[in-house]
Amino acid sequence: MFVRALTADAELRPLEPWRAGDFLCNLDRAREHIAPWVGPSFVATDLSSARAVLERYADRWARDAGGIWGIWRDGVLVGGVMFVTFDAAIGVCEVGCWLEPGAEGRGLVTRAVGVLVDWAVGERGIHRVEWRTNADNVRSIAVARRLGMRRDGVLRQSYPRGGGRIDIEVWSVLADEWQATATTESASTA
């Protein structure tokens, strides 16, 4: 299993079904904070539903159709990132994230999503990486911007929420844009 350092006190690791207890504890700390922004099927409420969420992502990983990784800070799961969808045949994937409030403001999500995008583009030949978010989620939109994504548009009233419907913003970065940014950053740190 791999572990990837994100900062001096945080790392990215696979989030496998046997970690359902850690995942549930993380969701318990984050539940109210993330509930407006993630789908209800993600916010598990007990150990069996937490395990079911992680099993769905493990199944996606086995089918080459998605995957999930945890962000661990000082040995505690504080959030994570995922390929919501992954289609190597057409070269498109969607990335997503969640984070508990106490871990915000450290750049963890931006770094972790960057690891996923590097792998998707560099190793798997993905051409387009998408980021879909509730149009009111300013923190999520800020991550998309920090990742160098461009706003493609708004899917108006495309998702049911709280008795109404919400707009979803679609952001993306293309492989050549991502690689150009990585090359520029490498040159500026050399």
Angle, helices 138-146/108-122, rounded to nearest 10 degrees: 50
Domain ranges within the chain, ordered by starting residue = 4-189
Give the pLDDT band (50/70/90) at residue 140: very high
Do the strands 128-134 and 92-99 form a parallel or antiparallel pair, or are they unpaired?
Answer: parallel
For 10-48, write each residue's pLDDT tens digit. 999 999 999 999 999 999 999 988 887 887 778 899 999
Assigned CATH for 4-189: 3.40.630.30
Q: How many CB atoms sit inside 10 A of residue 13's CB? A: 16
- Positive/negative CA dihedral, 11, 17, 19, 23: positive
Residue that is written with structure tokens 């708004």 in the block: 154
Q: What angle do CA 78, 182, 122 make, to 5 degrees?
A: 80
pTM: 0.91
pLDDT above 70 (res 90)? yes
User: Mean pLDDT over all residues of the chain?
Assistant: 92
Looking at residue 146, its pLDDT comes to 96
Cα→Cα distances 80→14, 48, 101, 175, 176, Å:
9, 19, 13, 23, 26
